[in-house]
């Protein structure tokens, strides 16, 4: 791949792996063969590996190097486990399509969940995965079953290679008793605009202020690019959702979130506001997350000073540090004002 092509792709936040690993079993599937041939033809090294759970061969002498190299590594495998992970409280099950993400947000929850080498993993046995989803739907009848497609990943950056999300969206489009949802920060979404979703997939975008994106995210699209992509998605008739997270308090934060909502208001047409959801989450961290962040991003300026936070005991013994009550109230008041002013008809799923 030429330098010019790589630079252009980086500017558009298109994920191009530096190396690919593929399980032998994946080569029994058409998609596996196609991906091997495609990446080989692009001049990207493709190595046949033993198991997608034990990848050796990602370079990196330090935890940082290992992390950044893993973020440019794609592993293609076959999902063998029959059961899906649950995904409470927002959905019943995680739909296992993709793991990890090429973005490098300093606050990312995957820093704690995916270990030291968070390589991207995709599966080629999509038909089997969707067939298992179909069994779950049958088991839960007459209740509706909800599947989450982004519980351990951002699924958009690899979509151009797999078409997995489109296949899942069209599968759920045919299901009377199921719904699908996922969230992304990326804007390479054009291939999904034509998908026959029949309104059964909620397409959510994760947004933040320009300040937070510029300072704490790396290799993700800007706020205005995401809002523009959301507008395209809304025009394609998808139910739309916004996850505003992590909401941070910094000098000028009110102004930042006001600008974000004003931009949404400017770009979204009236039709897309009819079935709109918001999820709003203030910044929080665990001690474990803080240690991981400081190891990978030693110069991070994320505000993680425990002294200015309130400790909240969580499930499974992992306490988290949240903003103190007074700051929390200020955030709630400001965000509620913005919601009432710009999107009074939207459903606020939670503001925590």
**96 or 103: CB nearest ligand SF4:** 103
- We find the least distance from the C-beta atom of residue 172 to ligand SF4, in angstroms, to be 22
Choices 99-107, 138-146, 283-291, 299-307 (CB under 6 A): range interacting with ligand SF4: 99-107
Query: Is 78 an interacting residue with respect to ligand SF4 (CB under 6 A)?
Result: no
Interface pattern 215-244 for ligand SF4 (x via CB under 6 A): --x--x------------------------
Q: Which of 39, 75, 146, 154 binds ligand SF4 (CB under 6 A)?
A: 154
Q: Could you tell me the smallest distance in angstroms from the CB atom of residue 173 to ligand SF4?
A: 25
Q: Which stretch binds ligand SF4 (CB under 6 A): 105-113, 128-136, 298-306, 318-326?
A: 105-113
101 sits near ligand SF4 (criterion: CB under 6 A) = yes
Return the range that interacts with ligand SF4 (CB under 6 A); candidates 43-51, 100-108, 122-130, 168-176.
Answer: 100-108
Using the minimum distance from each CB to ligand SF4, give the nearer residue, 92 or 185: 185
**The one among 14, 25, 27, 110 contacting ligand SF4 by CB under 6 A:** 110
**Beta carbon nearer to ligand SF4, 175 or 220:** 220
Q: Does residue 305 contact residue 285 with C-beta atoms inside 8 Å? A: no
Q: Which of 185, 197, 200, 283 binds ligand SF4 (CB under 6 A)?
A: 185
Residues that bind ligand SF4 (CB under 6 A): 101, 103-105, 108, 110, 154, 185, 217, 220
């Amino acid at each position: 791949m030429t330098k010019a092509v790589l630079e252009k792709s980086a500017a558009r936040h298109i994920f191009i792996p530096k190396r690919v690993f593929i399980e032998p079993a994946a080569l029994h599937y058409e998609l596996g063969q196609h991906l091997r041939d495609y990446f080989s033809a692009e001049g990207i090294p493709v190595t046949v590996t033993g198991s997608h759970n034990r990848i050796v061969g990602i370079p990196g002498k330090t935890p940082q190097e290992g992390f950044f190299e893993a973020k440019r590594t794609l592993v293609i495998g076959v999902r063998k486990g029959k059961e899906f992970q649950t995904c409470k409280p927002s959905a019943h099950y995680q739909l296992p399509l993709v793991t990890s993400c090429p973005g490098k947000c300093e606050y990312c929850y995957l820093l704690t969940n995916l270990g030291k080498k968070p390589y991207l993993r995709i599966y080629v046995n999509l038909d089997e995965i969707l067939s298992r989803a179909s069994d779950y739907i049958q088991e839960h009848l007459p209740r509706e079953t909800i599947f989450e497609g982004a519980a351990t990943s951002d699924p958009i950056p690899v979509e151009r290679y797999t078409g997995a999300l489109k296949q899942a969206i069209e599968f759920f489009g045919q299901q009377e008793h199921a719904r699908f949802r996922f969230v992304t920060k990326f804007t390479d979404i054009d291939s999904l605009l034509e998908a026959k979703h029949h309104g059964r997939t909620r397409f959510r975008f994760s947004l933040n202020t320009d300040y937070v994106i510029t300072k704490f995210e790396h290799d993700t699209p800007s706020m205005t690019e995401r809002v523009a992509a959301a507008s395209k998605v809304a025009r394609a008739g998808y139910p739309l959702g916004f996850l505003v997270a992590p909401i941070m308090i910094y000098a000028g934060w009110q102004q930042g979130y006001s600008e974000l909502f004003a931009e949404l208001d400017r770009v979204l047409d009236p039709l897309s506001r009819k079935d709109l959801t918001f999820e709003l989450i203030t910044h929080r961290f665990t001690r474990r997350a803080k240690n991981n962040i400081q190891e990978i991003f030693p110069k991070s300026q994320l505000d993680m000073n425990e002294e200015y936070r309130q400790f909240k005991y969580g499930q499974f013994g992992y306490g988290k540090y949240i903003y103190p009550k007074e700051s929390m109230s200020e955030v709630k008041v400001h965000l509620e004002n913005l919601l009432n002013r710009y999107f009074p008809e939207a459903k606020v799923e939670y503001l925590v």
